[in-house]
Structure 1
Amino acid sequence: MQRRQRGISAGLLLLFYEISRVGFQNIPPVTLGTLALNVILFLNPLGPLSEVCISVNESFYRKNWWRLLLSPVHHADDWHLYFNMVSMLWKGIMLERKLGSAWLAYIIAVFSVLIGVVYMVLEYALAELLDDPTYKMICAVGFSGVLFALKVLNNHYNPGRFSSVLGMQISNKYACWVELVAIHLISPGTSFAGHLAGILVGLMYTMGPLKKIMKACAGI
């Protein structure tokens, strides 16, 4: 896995344009900080993609657990960064206003690690079910898994709304699943397991015990 040329490129310029159009003063601190962290690590990565990506082989078998922290905040190229951060911009603004800055920061931190764990479980399960060890070697980076989880939360807190997916108006109740399939069909190189892991973690929070566990750990 190799990173494309970094620097001030079209994707970064468009991202800066979107941020300036919203206005720095209108972006809550955790959302703005998340955007800044991802941009900084894109321009100054902590290592090549092959050393920060997450996979069953690299993270589980070789015990490189620090990849759980690094993989979500590294991106393959400027367009990968652009689409993820524009999505984070709007989801972050809505959720931070709804949940508060401290709780959103907590959610992003927990989700980033937990989605990596669920991703490895899914890839391991696919490898065993299909008797194909290559699934254990698939290495993923990017913030999109967290974004799918945040989309589940956003849809949960805004029921009854509709999202546009490929020009179709889809109920928010099903939008995540439709987007999961649509993105995989349009861009087969994207991580289906990573996106699915994000949805599952989001559902663990909205419909399962994760929210209660997080509150208990936070002393709330």
Structure 2
Amino acid sequence: MSPPSSEQAPVAEAPMGEMPSAPSFAEYLARRLMADKGFEPGTHPEAAELVDVSDAVLTYSDGYSCVIVCIVDREREPSRRFTLETPVLERVGKACLHYSGTVSGTKLPVGLQFIEVGRGPVTLEDRERLERLRLGLFNKVHLHAMHVDTASGEVWANTWRRAMVSRGHVRGLVQQPRRVEESEDEVAEAPERAPVLTVALLVSLALAFAAEQLFAVGAPGTGLLAPGIETLVALGGLSSRLVLEHGQWWRLFLAPLLHGDLIHLLLNGFCLWFGATVLESMVGRTWLGLLLVVSALGGGALSMALHGDSVVSVGASGALMGLLAAVLAVSRRLPTGQGRVEVQMMAMQLLVPSLIPIAMSRTGNAVDFAAHVGGALAGGVVGLWLARVWKREHATPPGTRWAGALSVLALGAVVVSVFFAVGSREGW
């Protein structure tokens, strides 16, 4: 979906009269939103009513998200107010719903944000007026109003609901010195990397599944090429009783390599290809390896903590949820535009459904929801930390050496785990 052009509904011109020597904060805010957030001047034809009551109207529309920001410049004209009522805004927002996309069968909402900029604190009258600009939590039109006091640097908002232009972002712009550049600091481009580790991981999963067929024990399971529960336990399926009571820690490293049937393997293989390819190209192989290990261990730990002794968990899902969460965390380093949005939306479409009980662990057709959540939490925390400490001007993330060392240790643990699993098969 192409962004709106200013010809569809041009940005309203500032009132004529004496012009100050420096641009008002409202003008600066509009420029920063275009440079930092990817907004375009103007809006869709269905929202043309917003232009008449605003000094600037900006729109972000990428085929998934549709957010319209209306700015009222009360520094230039203190009597200016945003005058449209909630029913009108709901009608306008619903008319623009066809510009938003769909994730997992759910239509994404349209966001309408209203920012009034003045030189004083929000008055009781203005607060009551802006408070009325809100709709129900499950309404497909999200309204969000703010008042900016340029004298004190304070920003008031009528709701804590998350918005694309957040209260914190606006507060940072009004409190910090104005930037002269027209765009945010460029992110150093990562070196080109072939997905070597990604391919190696896919081969490893395929070999592990082949081992399940060659070294099967007992009756087969239900499903396409499904091994039985005895086979999964013999080859390293995760069980809290076997790990905690019998000290078989190596199951934490082998269980993510095993799968309940061919469909289980193919679904996880697709998720792995997407998440690992994105991360390998952005953060490199050492950090990808560490994220995999941390996510797999996090998923296994929460699975053991929440499940009973009778549950045996297998599959790479926990590790994959961690990779997808990490993709969302570090995706801000991707250039603003359609490419970044497509990566984020794909990660969300794979991650969100997996965090509700619909993905199967394939051991008795049970849902290992805990492993998914544990993996996503572990990978997400590491990804957020990495995004925070990774300087924009650096092409590679920090800590690559120790991340690589930990990844090598984890690989060694996997190799040792294979020998433990072979030794334990004598009792089966």
Interval containing the TM-score (normalised by the shorter chain) = 0.5 to 0.7
**Greater shift after overlay, 104-113 or 32-41?**
104-113
Alignment-derived partner of residue 239 in structure 2: 55
Alignment-derived partner of residue 121 in structure 1: 305
Match of 1:38 in 2: 205
Q: Structure 1 residues 183 and 163, CA, compared in 2 at 3 Å: closer, same or farther? A: farther
Cα distance in 2, alignment partners of residues 196 and 219 from structure 1: 23
Q: Which runs of 4+ in 1 moved over 6 A?
A: none
Pairs aligned (count): 174
Per the alignment, do residues 60 and 84 of structure 1 end up closer, same or farther by CA in structure 2, a change over 3 Å counting?
A: same
Other-structure match for 1:90: 274
2:303 and 2:368 in contact (8 A); partners too = no
Residue type matched to 1:72 in 2? Answer: P
Moved more, 176-185 or 187-196: 176-185
> Is structure 2 residue 326 aligned with structure 1 residue 153?
yes
Query: Which structure shows the bigger proportion of residues in helix conformation?
Result: 1
* SS across alignment from 2:345: strand
Instruction: Give the alignment of 1:6-21 within 5 angstroms.
Output: none
Partner of 1:136, secondary structure, is coil
Q: Which has the higher contact order (CA 8 A, sep 6+)?
A: 1
Distance 1:79 1:175 in 2: 16
Gaps of 5+ in 2: 1-192, 217-230, 333-339, 390-397, 405-428
SS in 2 for 1:137: coil
Corresponding residue SS for 1:181? coil
One-letter code aligned to 1:136: D
- Counterpart CA distance in 2 for 1:71 and 1:199 is 17
- Alpha-carbon shift at residue 93 of structure 1 (Å): 0.9
Question: Secondary structure of the residue that 2:358 maps to in structure 1?
Answer: helix
- In the alignment, structure 1 segments of 5+ residues that lack a partner are 1-25, 124-134, 165-170
Seen in structure 2, the aligned counterparts of structure 1 residues 207 and 30 have a Cα distance that, compared at 3 Å, is: same
Q: Decide whether aligned partners of structure 1 residues 122 and 216 sit closer, same or farther in structure 2, where only a CA change above 3 A counts.
A: farther
Cα offset for 1:113?
Answer: 3.0
Equivalent of 1:104, from 269, 281, 288?
288
1:145-184 aligned within 5 A: 145-159=318-332, 161=341, 163=345, 172=348, 176-181=351-356, 183=358
Residue 278 of structure 2 aligns with an amino acid whose one-letter code is M
Counterpart amino acid of residue 146 in structure 1: A
Equivalent in the alignment of 2:68:
none
Distance 1:199 1:114, change over 3 A: closer
Q: In proportion to residue count, which structure has more strand? A: 2
CA distance in 1: counterparts of 2:377 and 2:403, whole angstroms:
25
- Tell which deviates more after alignment, 189-198 or 199-208: 199-208
Structure 1 distance, partners of 2:210, 2:325, is 30
Larger Rg: 2
User: How many Å apart are 1:206 and its aligned residue?
Assistant: 3.1
Distance apart, 1:34 and its partner CA: 0.3
Measured in 2, the distance between the counterparts of 1:139 and 1:54 equals: 5
| 1-structure distance, mates of 2:400, 2:265 | 34
Amino acid at match of 2:371: G
RMSD of aligned alpha carbons: 3.4
Percent of matched pairs sharing the same residue: 23
Distance 1:72 1:80 in 2: 12
